[in-house]
Structure 1
Amino acid sequence: MSQQEGAGTRTTGLFVNPVGQRRAQFQHACAGLFDELRVADGAEAAALQLAAQPAGLLVLDLDRFDLAIDLPALGQLVAGRAGQPVLALCPFTNARWLPALMAFGPLEYAIGPLSPEETRSYLHARLQNGFTPAPAVSPAEAELAALLAVRSGAQQALAEADDTIRFGERLCAALLGWPGVVHAAMFQLRGGGDLRLEAQHGQHQGAAGLDLAQVLQRGERLLQSPLRHAFPGLLAAASGEMALLDAPEKAGEPELAQALGAHGVRMVLGLPIPASGPGAPRGALCLLFDHARPFSRAQLTAFDDLAQLAAFGLRMAELMRESEQLLGRVTHLATTDALTGVANRRHGEYLMELEIKRARRYRLPLALVAFDIDRFRNVNDTYGHPVGDMALRTVADTARALLRANDVLVRSGGEEFQVIAPHTSAIDGLKLAEKLRAAIEQAEIPGCDHVTVSLGVAQLGETESGDSLAVRVNAALVRAKRAGRNCVELAMQ
């Protein structure tokens, strides 16, 4: 390129890219366009160079930069340009860089890949014609950007929709981005017709310190509030219709108008949160503004969309609660013996393995007690199965009442039970087994008076498996049966 080609347009430049070969290619192709062209391998080095010597043009080659890692530092370079031109060379495969960098300040961009010759031609044309400064943002565009940010924040709030309070707080915080809104709140209708203030969020300035629970004189049972006919948030939740109060004094409640006016509130909008089907609304959104203003049809439609989004979030939270309850019920059914309410055999084996691992890790003793009801078949044959079931429940309840909080009672078979006893030695296990034997012998069972149990006790060996421990304790139980029943035997090592 001749010197004449760049006459009158030459300036200083700084090119930023982490790859040495790309920096060398840019210098070779474009150095003739600048009085001085410097290069930097990253945002930190570029910031140091700009602090020492400003550059007329900053060129950010975004290829090989990582958006998740490098955005804050590169964004600060854009923010610090103070109106001087920035050119971003952006690969077409990662155009997300553009809005992310534009949030820091104005820039021009060219989509890559560009060959060195194409880059030189593009730069020459821009330097000849001048980099066009970003046009001033009109009030309408600024408002549109704010509304888009509100929508984005409201959609992000759905990530917290597993909990209505967290969802409400995130949604209210997003609604504060609506132009003029100084306070936002969400009311939700609970069971029994109880409307309560679920969440609220206010600006740090203007409506700072505003608490709607104080203004409305309560935070729950708001449908019974004497202000339900005057405050748009309550009115919308009760009637299912949008309520707009463009001057608080119009509500006919001087104390309410005074309380709102003291916090700079000049207009209140209530938006009903629709139910999934026919019926009362789920609640309402309430927006408090620092000045009265007219709304366009598009803005009123946007309000309806936000209310629909709130309904979707509350429905998601409801479904999450139902799912958790269902999962809890299924888990209970899968791990609990239906007759006695204690752990079933499969869950007992799982818990036993956990306790063995814990005992190994912390070098703690672990005992296993096995017992079954003596001559239980005779109980069924003589008194009937309903009485046998009663005997099983009574034995389980009696044993459970004697156990510690961390002991686990397991029904391991028809009339067979086990007690997993953490932090328990063989001697302490014998004492526990004897207490169980005596208590069960004294327990009264409607229909058959009393039953007895035989018990075996074993302590986990240093290298013993759960299966080996179960074999030893069952062998001790068999010896107790042979010894005459209603007694306790300690397992052999």
Structure 2
Amino acid sequence: MQQQEGPREHTTGLFVNPVGQRRTDFQHACGGLFAQLRVAAGAEQAASLLEREAADLLILDLERCEIGLDLAPLGALVAARAAIKAPVLVLCPFTNAGWLPALMGFGPIDYAIGPLREQQLRSLLDARLRAGFAPRPAPTPGEDELRGLLALHGAGQEALQDADDSERFAERLCAVLAAWPGVAHAALFQHRDGDLHLEAEHGLPGLRLGALLKPGARLLQSPLRHAFPGLLAATTDEFILLDAPAKAGEPELAERLDAYGVRSVMGVPIPGEGPGGPRGSLSLLFDHARPFSHAQLSALDHLARLAGVGLRMAEAARENEALLARVTHLATIDALTDVANRRHGEQLLEAEIKRARRYRLPLALIAFDIDRFSAVNDSYGHPVGDIALRTVADTARALLRSSDVLIRSGGEEFQVIAPHTSAIDGLKMAEKLRAAVEQVEIPGCDHVTISLGVAQLGESESGDSLAVRVHAALARAKRAGRNCVELAMQ
């Protein structure tokens, strides 16, 4: 007991975390280990406290920290501590492992991967304080192995950021697991479409778990689902370890695994969302029986959670892709006529103007609207007016080139962006549109006509100026008696 009390009598600490409850919990759990323990909500407050009074140990808890916002100020604390050779302990949740190499760029740090239970945290700090801040001993081989796994975990995080489907992410994660010393084969199972699927596997040449677990059968109906740890973990949500395959009570399975040099088998559940069952499991086949430390199992649990995040990201990516297509359609397309809406049309016009200027190409803008459209609505009703709008839009779209863009700019008014088109060609295009609309039959109101204005982009003209000129030409067409085309003045 006296050994543990020594550091408390002389040691001061500073704990940094933005969440008030975590600071309170840390003080409650570990305050007795220090002669004085102060807390800070962020790097700025911590720096101010350190200016007034030094601390023997700075503890940075990264829970709820945002790397984009907090890395620079927390890194400055690490750099300041490095300048005076004072220790920094970083409590890093596994989801924030990307912080570690980033913070190491500012100076040396000691770190512990969370989450840590209260007693674990107390033991960690007690050991650190009792060491008197002397240099840490060289890591044991087991720690080297764990550090290697964490490095690969970091590589897996990079793949996680680019994950766009479950199979690709599963293949990358299996490659990470198979690189862990002693792992002969790694696989990932996932629940989807009412069954358990082998998403990916990596390792022993010739070993195919699908065939080993009964080819052609649904995995959830496999007779080995009660014996193979990977299947058990995926169905029971429990960590499973067979240090000898024969213990599963399936001699044929044990014999086949033994033929591949497999001496122990592990199944780690991949947590699902909410109170339901697991999302799947990680399956590890080892080339020798081995004991596993708590730290190693925690690391494997972290990788299983990483797998869950990756699979959720892949699922979300598929859902988001479909949703994005729908949202993009709703945001850029007019619901009644199925042509570009005004806002999207303005963006497209600006893009075409930039392209025309860059390549010194002509660009024409045509504006037209339906003559006496309010009379159509008043005489025949708004449903017939909607039919007229759709018919005019369909007629115009059928005549336009693939490079042209038809826009409903408001009410009964439309625009056509015509790349590679001069004023003369724009006039010809507008006349074709006028004649086609005049001839088409509109159910419920026979025929309608349109008036059009045409303008060619000036050498240094803006989109707004071009729109003003083309609308002035459209107004002249209206004054000229409608159902005609006018060219904009320069």
Deviation track 1:407-431 (CA, whole Å, cap 9, x = no partner) reads 2221112110111122233344344
2:393 aligned with 1:410, yes or no? Answer: no
Name 1:240's counterpart in structure 2: 237
Mapped partners of 1:424, 1:253: distance in 2: 79
Match in the other structure for 2:197: 196
How is 1:207-218 mapped onto 2 (pairs within 5 angstroms)? 207-208=204-205, 210=207, 212=209
**How far apart in 1 are the matches of 2:249 and 2:445?**
74
Residue 283 to residue 423, structure 1, CA distance change in 2 (3 Å): farther
Superposed displacement of residue 275, structure 1: 1.2
Shift of 1:372: 1.0
Q: 1:262 to 1:473 in 2, by over 3 A?
A: farther
How far did 1:382 drift? 1.1
Q: Could you say if the C-alpha distance between residues 411 and 224 of structure 1 is closer, same or farther in structure 2, counting changes exceeding 3 Å?
A: farther
The residue number in structure 2 matching 1:368 is 365
Matched, 1:145 2:147: no
| Residue in 2 that maps onto 1:390 | 387
Q: Secondary structure at the match of 1:200?
A: strand
C-alpha distance in structure 1 between counterparts of 2:87 and 2:429, whole Å:
70
2:270 paired residue number: 273
For the 8 Å contact 1:151–1:306, the answer to whether it is kept is no
Task: State the match for 2:114 in structure 1.
Answer: none
Secondary structure of the residue that 2:410 maps to in structure 1?
Answer: coil
Structural mapping, 1:345-384, within 5 Å: 345-384=342-381
For residues 353-395 of structure 1, what are the alpha-carbon distances to aligned partners after superposition, in whole Å with 9 as ceiling and x for unaligned? 1111111111122121211112111111012122222322333
Aligned-residue identity in percent: 69
Q: Which amino acid aligns with 2:276?
A: G
TM-score with structure 2 setting the length: 0.61
The 8 Å contact of residues 399 and 433 in structure 2, kept in 1 or not, is answered as yes
Over 3 Å counting, the alpha-carbon distance change for 1:387 and 1:343 in structure 2 is: same
* 1:400 corresponds to 2:402: no
CA contact (8 A) 2:451 2:474 kept: yes
CA distance in 2, matches of 1:467, 1:380: 30
Where does residue 124 of structure 1 map in the other structure? none
In the other structure, the counterpart of 1:184 is 186
Larger Rg: 1
Matched, 1:472 2:473: no
What is the CA distance between 1:328 and its match in structure 2? 5.7
Cα distance, 1:181 vs. partner? Answer: 0.6
3-state SS of the aligned residue for 1:201? strand
Aligned to 1:7: none
Cα gap change, 1:387 to 1:361, in 2 (>3 Å): same
Query: Residues 297 and 345 from structure 1, CA distance in 2 versus in 1: closer, same or farther, beyond 3 angstroms?
Result: closer
After TM superposition, the structure 1 = structure 2 runs for residues 41-190 of structure 1, keeping only pairs within 5 Å, are 92=84, 141-162=140-161, 163=163, 164-165=165-166, 166-190=168-192
Residue range with higher mean Cα deviation, 223-232 or 377-386:
223-232
Do the aligned partners of 1:154 and 1:170 also contact (CA within 8 Å) in 2? Answer: no
Shift in Å at residue 302 of structure 1? 4.5
3-state SS of the aligned residue for 1:392? Answer: helix
SS in 2 for 1:421: strand
- Give 1:221-370 correspondences, 5 Å limit: 222-223=219-220, 228=225, 231-246=228-243, 252=250, 254=252, 258=256, 263-295=260-292, 299-318=296-315, 331-370=328-367
Shift of residue 351, structure 1, vs aligned partner: 1.5
For 1:247 and 1:437, how far apart are their aligned partners in 2? 84
C-alpha distance after superposition, 1:188-208 (max 9, x if no partner)? 333x32543334333xxxx24
SS state of the match for residue 473, structure 2? helix
Q: What amino acid sits opposite 1:154 in the alignment? A: H
SS in 1 for 2:201: strand
Which runs of 5 or more structure 1 residues have no equivalent in the other structure? 1-89, 101-133
CA contact 1:197–1:220 (8 Å) conserved in 2: no
In 1: Cα distance, 2:217 partner to 2:334 partner? 41
User: In structure 2, what is the equivalent of residue 3 of structure 1?
Assistant: none
Aligned residues: 361
**Counterparts in 2 of 1:417 and 1:148: CA distance versus 1, 3 Å:** same
Q: Distance in 2 between matches of 1:219 and 1:467?
A: 65
Q: Is the 8 A contact 1:196 1:219 kept in 2?
A: no
- Name the SS of the counterpart of 1:371 in structure 2: strand
Deviation track 1:431-466 (CA, whole Å, cap 9, x = no partner) reads 433443344345454433443322222222222222
* Residues in 1 aligned to 2:285 and 2:261: alpha-carbon distance in whole angstroms: 9
Moved more, 331-340 or 314-323: 314-323
What's the counterpart of residue 483 of structure 2?
Answer: 486
Letter in 2 for 1:161: L
Counting only pairs closer than 5 Å after superposition, residues 30-45 of structure 1 correspond to structure 2 as none
**2:245–2:253 Cα contact (<8 Å) kept:** no
1:341 corresponds to which letter in structure 2? D
Instruction: Classify the secondary structure of the residue corresponding to 1:168.
Output: helix
Shift of 1:470: 1.7
Kindly indicate whether the alpha-carbon contact (under 8 Å) linking 2:189 and 2:234 is maintained by their aligned counterparts in 1.
Answer: yes
2:420 maps to 423
**Does structure 2 retain, via aligned residues, the 8 Å contact 1:371–1:456?**
yes
TM-score normalised according to structure 1 size: 0.61
Secondary structure of residue in 2 paired with 1:447: coil
Q: Secondary structure at the match of 1:161?
A: helix
Q: CA RMSD in A?
A: 3.9
Distance 2:472 2:282 in 1: 68
The residue matched to 1:412 in structure 2 has which SS?
strand
Counterpart CA distance in 1 for 2:216 and 2:487 is 62
C-alpha contact 2:156 2:172 (8 A) present in aligned 1:
yes
Residue 360 to residue 270, structure 1, CA distance change in 2 (3 Å) = same
CA pair 220-340 structure 1, distance change in 2 beyond 3 A: farther
- Please report how far the alpha carbon of residue 483 of structure 1 lies from its aligned counterpart in structure 2 after TM superposition: 4.3
